[in-house]
């Protein structure tokens, strides 16, 4: 198992710019990472407010985990795949998912490309290749292993990035996925965001192992333990794993040690099961503050630029929300679409009868 952690994981420190360059990130790349992390932080807050106002129903936010989400996604190419867990909205947006489409899928209205069929926060995209998340913990992992095996068998050099939380490592699907990925040399990288809590269960009560990354060894996979609050470290570890998978080296398990600063979802109250002081302590290791300090120290950033970017992001979010929130519910005929490539006769008959009934009712 490779350890890429400082002595005190999450402790803020400034890194010379040549370290960023050594992992393949330019100054512009770092600014892109900071903007992506800032966007999802502000977007999560906005979606939580919408939920409190009854304008949407669910949101799984990622405050404190943005470096793990964004750093891993930056290591991908456009034709690679992402199998998300719950908090990877920042990855979808970074890879090219339009913000308005993200918003529409959270609201589930006529602008939603999934026609309101999915639970809010379970978004997906064809381009980028971002598979819908599932509320069933860990179920994406065997699928991601299978997609990585399929890519190898086809001679396709695309790589699959599968995100998971520490709670998913207690699920049978985690072990099934690692066994198949190792045995069949899947082009899959498993990125575990160990945010210390699987809803109300702490990591210490999920495993007696030294780390989650160490579990890779028994399956014959490389395991990497990395500081999940350092976007450079996450990117570097993921990039090496992605390059290894793409060149035929098989799968890797990366554990990014981070912390879920807020609730598990917008329906959760973490104060019922964890000490407030723990959250305060980890808030001092905020990955956004850490990257901003780094950028400022290298001369790439300053307070004025931060204020301008903050205003731009706020305007972008509000514009996207205004563009999609006024849309009506999905058209009723979408109940019958997207089931078959060519709609069979019995569904066409049912659709016709339903539309006739609604017309007769004046609906």
264 is catalytic: yes
Tokens of 322: 């205004």
Q: Which of 273, 348, 352, 357 is catalytic?
A: 273
Three-class SS state of 162: strand
- Alpha-carbon span 207 to 109, nearest angstrom: 41
- Give the residue from 35, 26, 51 showing the smallest Cα distance to 99: 35
> In angstroms, what CA-CA distances link 228 with 5, 9, 184, 209, 237?
9, 8, 28, 19, 10
Q: Which two tokens stand for residue 287?
A: 């990955």
Report which DSSP code applies to 133: P
Q: Of the residues 129, 240, 264, 290, which is catalytic?
A: 264
Long-range contacts of 115-122 (CB under 8 A, 24+ apart): 115/330, 115/331, 115/334, 115/337, 115/338, 116/329, 116/330, 116/334, 119/58, 120/56, 120/57, 120/58, 120/59, 121/58, 121/59, 121/60, 121/86, 121/89, 121/265
Inter-residue contact 138 to 159 (CB < 8 Å) = no
Whether the CA torsion 108, 109, 112, 116 is positive or negative: it is positive
Helix or strand run (H / E) with residue 243: helix 231-246
- Which one from 87, 152, 260, 290 is the annotated catalytic residue? 260
Q: What are the residue numbers of the active site?
A: 260, 264, 273
């Amino acid at each position: 198992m490779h350890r890429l952690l400082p002595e005190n994981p999450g402790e803020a420190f400034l890194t010379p710019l040549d370290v960023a360059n050594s992992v393949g990130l330019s100054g512009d790349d770092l600014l892109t990472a900071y903007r992506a992390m800032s966007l999802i932080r502000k977007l999560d807050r906005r979606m939580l407010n919408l939920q409190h106002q009854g304008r949407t129903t669910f949101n799984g936010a990622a405050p404190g985990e943005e470096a793990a989400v964004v750093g891993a996604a930056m290591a991908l190419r456009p034709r690679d795949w992402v199998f998300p867990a719950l908090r990877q909205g920042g990855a979808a947006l970074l890879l090219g998912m339009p913000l308005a489409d993200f918003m529409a899928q959270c609201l589930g209205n006529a602008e939603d490309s999934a026609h309101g069929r999915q639970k809010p926060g379970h978004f997906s995209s064809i381009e980028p290749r971002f598979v819908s998340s599932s509320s069933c913990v860990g179920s994406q992992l065997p699928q991601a292993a299978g997609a990585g095996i399929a890519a190898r068998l086809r001679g396709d050099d695309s790589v699959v990035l599968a995100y998971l939380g520490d709670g998913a490592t207690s699920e049978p699907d985690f072990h099934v996925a690692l066994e198949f990925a190792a045995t069949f040399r899947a082009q899959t990288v498993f990125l575990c965001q160990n945010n210390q809590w699987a809803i109300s269960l702490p990591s210490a009560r999920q495993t007696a192992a030294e780390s989650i990354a160490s579990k890779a060894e028994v399956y014959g996979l490389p395991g990497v333990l990395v500081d999940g609050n350092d976007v450079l470290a996450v990117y570097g570890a993921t990039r090496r794993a992605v390059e290894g998978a793409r060149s035929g080296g098989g799968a890797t398990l990366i554990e990014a040690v981070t912390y879920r600063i807020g609730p598990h979802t917008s329906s959760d109250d973490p104060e019922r099961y964890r000490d407030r002081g723990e959250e305060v302590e980890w808030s001092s290791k905020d990955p956004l503050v850490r990257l901003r300090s780094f950028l400022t120290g290298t001369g790439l950033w300053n307070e004025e630029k931060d204020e301008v970017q903050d205003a731009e992001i706020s305007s972008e979010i509000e514009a996207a929300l205004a563009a999609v929130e006024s849309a009506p519910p999905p058209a009723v005929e979408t109940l019958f679409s997207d089931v078959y490539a060519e709609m069979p006769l019995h569904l066409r008959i049912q659709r016709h009868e339903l539309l006739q009934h609604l017309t007769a009712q004046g609906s």
